[in-house]
């Protein structure tokens, strides 16, 4: 497993846990539109996180400088895709905007905090991107 995937693994797992709880809470408080909005908002963030980690991990396996060369274009492409989805969701009847915004911002904050925490606890991970694990 690459260092990039190690950094996001905990964030994605806890993001899924928080998202599940958020969906249940939104269903109780805001109905099905709220639950759908929480699931979509959290899914966008978690999906973006996973795609970024996997893209960088695969690029690193192809070349020693692969992750450095692909990081910015990958980010730009993912942000364009994310903005396109947000524009497509704007004004849809099945989206409860307060629930969507709360889930989107909450899961984004959770993922960033947990990634930073993982990096702070294991700064050596940055030096091991792409290396194979030793059994």
| pLDDT tens track for 91-119 | 888 989 999 999 999 999 999 999 888 88
Residue 26 included in any domain: yes
Measure the CA–CA gap between 78 and 72, rounded to whole angstroms: 10
Residue 135 included in any domain: no
Residue 123 included in any domain: yes
Query: What tokens does 107 get?
Result: 């899961």
Q: Is 9 exposed, middle or buried (0-12, 13-18, 19+ CB in 10 A)?
A: middle
* pLDDT digits 0-9 by tens, 35-45: 999 999 999 99
Query: What tokens does 98 get?
Result: 């307060």
Residue 132 included in any domain: no
Domain that holds residue 37: 3-127
- How much is the pLDDT for 64? 74
Residue 31 included in any domain: yes
Q: Considering its fold, how many domains does the chain have in total?
A: 1
Closest CA to 91 of 37, 48, 128: 37
Residue 32 included in any domain: yes
- How much is the pLDDT for 128? 54
* pLDDT digits 0-9 by tens, 19-78: 999 999 999 999 999 999 999 999 999 999 999 888 888 888 887 777 778 888 889 999
Residue 88 included in any domain: yes
Rg of the chain over CA atoms, in angstroms? 17
Q: Is 134 exposed, middle or buried (0-12, 13-18, 19+ CB in 10 A)?
A: exposed
Flag whether pLDDT at 127 surpasses 60.
no
Residue 134 included in any domain: no
């Amino acid at each position: 497993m690459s260092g990039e995937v190690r950094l996001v693994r905990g964030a994605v797992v806890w993001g899924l846990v928080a998202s599940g709880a958020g969906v249940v809470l939104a269903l109780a408080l805001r109905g099905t539109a709220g639950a759908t909005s929480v699931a979509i908002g959290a899914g966008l963030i978690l999906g973006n996180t996973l795609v970024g980690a996997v893209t960088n991990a695969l690029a690193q396996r192809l070349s020693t400088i692969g992750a450095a060369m692909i990081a910015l274009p990958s980010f730009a492409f993912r942000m364009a895709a994310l903005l396109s989805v947000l524009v497509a969701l704007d004004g849809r009847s099945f989206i409860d905007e307060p629930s969507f915004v709360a889930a989107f911002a909450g899961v984004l904050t959770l993922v960033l905090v947990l990634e930073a925490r993982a990096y702070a606890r294991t700064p050596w991970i940055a030096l091991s991107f792409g290396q194979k694990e030793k059994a």
